[in-house]
Structure 1
Amino acid sequence: MAPPLAISGLHAGYGARAVLTGVDLVVPEGTVTALTGPNGAGKTTLVRAICGRIAPRDGAVEVCGVSAADGAARARIGLAPQDIALYRSLTISENLEVFASLAGVAGARVPARVADVMVRAGIADRRDERIDRLSGGWQRRANVAAALVGNPRLLVLDEPTVGVDAPARADLAALVRSLAAEGLGILLVTHDFAFAEMVADRVAILVAGTVALEGPLATLVAARFPHQRRVEATFAVPPDRAGRQALAARGLHDGADDTAFSGVVADTPEAAGDLIAALKAAGLAPRTLSLQAAGLDALYAAVTREAQP
């Protein structure tokens, strides 16, 4: 049986601008693949190509063995976009009835399909509540349920944890894993590394229009950071140029916040002490310093840093 999603040699863009430049990616059934990458890497364009909204310039996108441009392929996709795509003045059940009809579910089968997805998404008890009266977590669940009413084999979740608190994130994680256990192939597009680590079997890092790294997360991290731990240091004010150079010499680089620096150190009892001594010698006094097992955040930082010109 063909996998829910198979992308090979995909090139796509807009006018003269190339965005995707040779993407290869497979999402097997019963698995969650987390897709992440910097802004502008091509994630949105890739989702549009998967949903048949943009034609490949070269290569192929197949959903269950059918070209993404074919209507039969789109019928096998459930998309839960980042923005809540629900009618706010309608109840959960009313929304799902609308989306079931839009998905082509026969009228007589709509009630049963709506009841089924509400149970699967864990929202049956809230079926008669209006969307605009629900918390962010419940809205996210309803958003996922709307993507399920067409009975897809490929579920695309675009930043499903935006605006969701910690307990609701845990509930969403359990929902995603239960859907994968049912056999769905799930593509999770996210910058929420902690959530991705909770649910993903595989990870793909998209950089400058191509997949720079893909595979089982645990395997990739173990291969990239053997016997190492991730270190993060934060400062009350951004370090000056000399301070930044001293941090870089110890393998610590800044990210989006110029007061936070991260890198990796050896997983030994002496490593933390050596780092603290080196920072002190450079006149740097971190506000916080933490050590933890390397994960997706460290992998992402290393891959995207290497891709910079």
Structure 2
Amino acid sequence: MSAAAQPSADQDFAGAPPLAITGLHAGYGPRRVLHGIDLTVPVGSVIALVGPNGAGKSTLVRAVCGRLAPSAGAVTVCGDPAAAGAARARIGLAPQEIALYRPLTIAENLAVFARLAGVAWREVPACIDRVMARTGITARRDERIERLSGGWQRRANVAAALVGSPRLLVLDEPTVGVDAPARADLADLVRSLAGDGLGILLITHDFAFAEAVAERVAILAGGRIALEGPLAELVAQHFPGQRRVEVTFAAPPDSAGRRVLADHGLAGGVDPAAFSGVVADTPEGAGGLIAALKGSGLVPRTIVFEAAGLDALYAAVTREPRP
């Protein structure tokens, strides 16, 4: 949600990006969590931050929102240090947990958060109308949060983050508990907000959603940015002439079967009966894998070949399957 009173509309940000992180080191007491982070979110862009649990994503969000002081380096929002009131006024945070009052309606919630963001009483109705129109929730304005579906709750959560007219929007796992149609609507909303000029930092484990909305991706591993850049370029660099393959089985393979899969670059994930990796983008690459499976007595339930994407990149960089 908005961190402080909103800045005046005519304030000049001197061309500074909504978020600039340079050489950031941060942690808790003697425990260092982030090590030399460099990351920029330009105006009108979506940067997706992904990484394993424990990589430091939550710590980074705390530093961005001015809640955790760097031990070295800097975090600036529109040119001001993140902990400064002027910077926090330009941040809108939509947290992973729905941070709304469940017995209240959407409009009532937005009124509360508008006042917390420093919006004058006389301007609150116009502010509510503006953010509801911007997020497409006007028709639900008088419905209580507890009666809304997950998708509408997520939209209301984003709306509450916008009442302070932020320049940087931080979205933390915005698709949790959301079905496929609502995810598509949220993707449209995120792209629209970026088109309006917001800088958006998206923290997510939803790789398909990240691919749909983000121009760039940053992979955080062990408290460091392991890889950052335009997703298409990163995939092309890491998987030239290769395709992603996903194989599922009716039951998890035995140890011998897993060794065969590993020999062909396929690793298991959360589902013990599903394996994925990359193969050469040639008939021989696909045919060789299929022949190896058949020769080992492994009978797939499904086998899918597709262009490599963020999940394959994530697995290659972090050396673990996607969450």
Q: Write out the 4+ residue segments of structure 1 that deviate beyond 4 Å after TM superposition.
A: none
Shift in Å at residue 236 of structure 1? Answer: 2.6
Whole-Å Cα distance in 1 between the matches of residues 257 and 37 of structure 2? 39
In the aligned structure 1, how far is the partner of 2:297 from the partner of 2:41?
A: 49
**What does the per-residue CA deviation read over 1:14-51, in whole Å, with 9 as the maximum and x for residues that have no partner?**
12211111111000010000100000000000000000
1:117 to 114, 125, 131: 131
- Cα displacement (A) at 1:287: 2.0
Of 265, 273, 276, which aligns to 2:279?
Answer: 265
Task: For residue 101 of structure 2, give the secondary structure of its aligned residue in structure 1.
Answer: coil
Q: Deviations over 1:198-240 (max 9, x none)?
A: 1111100000001100011111111111121100111233223
Match for residue 3 of structure 1?
A: 17
Q: CA deviation at 1:6?
A: 0.4
Q: For the residues of structure 1 that align with 2:272 and 2:316, how far apart are their CA atoms?
A: 17
Counterpart pick for 1:97 among 103, 111, 119: 111
Question: 2:31, 2:300 → 1: CA distance?
Answer: 43
Pair 1:152 & 2:166 matched: yes
2:8 is matched with none
| Alignment partner of 2:121 out of 107, 117, 120 | 107
Calculate the TM-score normalised by the size of structure 1: 0.97
Q: Partners of 2:200 and 2:192 in 1: how far apart?
A: 11
Shift of 1:127: 0.7
TM-score by length of 2: 0.93
Distance 2:167 2:231 in 1: 23
Task: Count residues with an aligned counterpart.
Answer: 307
Structure 1 residues not aligned, in runs of 5+: none
Aligned-partner residue type, residue 102 of structure 2: R
- Separation in structure 1 between the aligned mates of residue 319 and residue 217 of structure 2, nearest angstrom: 17
1:134-149 to structure 2, matched below 5 A, reads 134-149=148-163
Match of 1:238 in 2: 252
- What is the CA distance between 1:107 and its match in structure 2? 1.5
1:22 and 2:66 correspond: no
2:75 matched residue in structure 1 = 61
CA distance in 1, matches of 2:89, 2:83: 11
Q: Of residues 272, 275, 282 in structure 1, which corresponds to 2:296?
A: 282
What's the CA shift for 1:255? Answer: 2.2
Percent identical across equivalent pairs?
A: 76
Supply the distance in 2 between the matched residues of 1:74 and 1:256 (Cα, whole angstroms).
38
Question: In the alignment, which residue of structure 2 is the partner of 1:163?
Answer: 177
Paired letter, 2:32: A
Shift of 1:142: 0.4
CA distance in structure 2 between the partners assigned to 1:146 and 1:69 by the alignment: 21
Separation (CA, whole Å) in 2 of partners of 1:132 and 1:65: 39
Question: 1:177 and 2:191 equivalent?
Answer: yes
Provide Cα deviations, 1:102-125, integer angstroms capped at 9, x if missing partner.
001122111111110000000011
Matched, 1:195 2:197: no
CA RMSD of aligned residues (A): 1.3
Distance 1:155 1:177 in 2: 12
Select which of 265, 272, 292 maps to 1:251: 265
What is the distance in 1 between the residues matched to 2:194 and 2:240? 29
5+ long unaligned stretches in structure 2? 1-14
Alignment match, 2:236: 222
SS of residue in 1 equivalent to 2:319? helix
Deviations 1:227-272 (A, max 9, x none): 2110011123322322222111111111233321111111122322
Write out per-residue CA displacement over residues 270-304 of structure 1, whole angstroms, 9 at most, x where no aligned residue: 32221110112223222221111111111111111
Establish whether residue 37 from structure 1 lines up as the match of residue 60 from structure 2.
Answer: no
The aligned counterpart of 1:299 is 313
Q: Secondary structure at the match of 2:247?
A: strand
Query: SS at the partner of 1:229?
Result: strand
Structure 2 residue 73 is the aligned partner of structure 1 residue 52: no
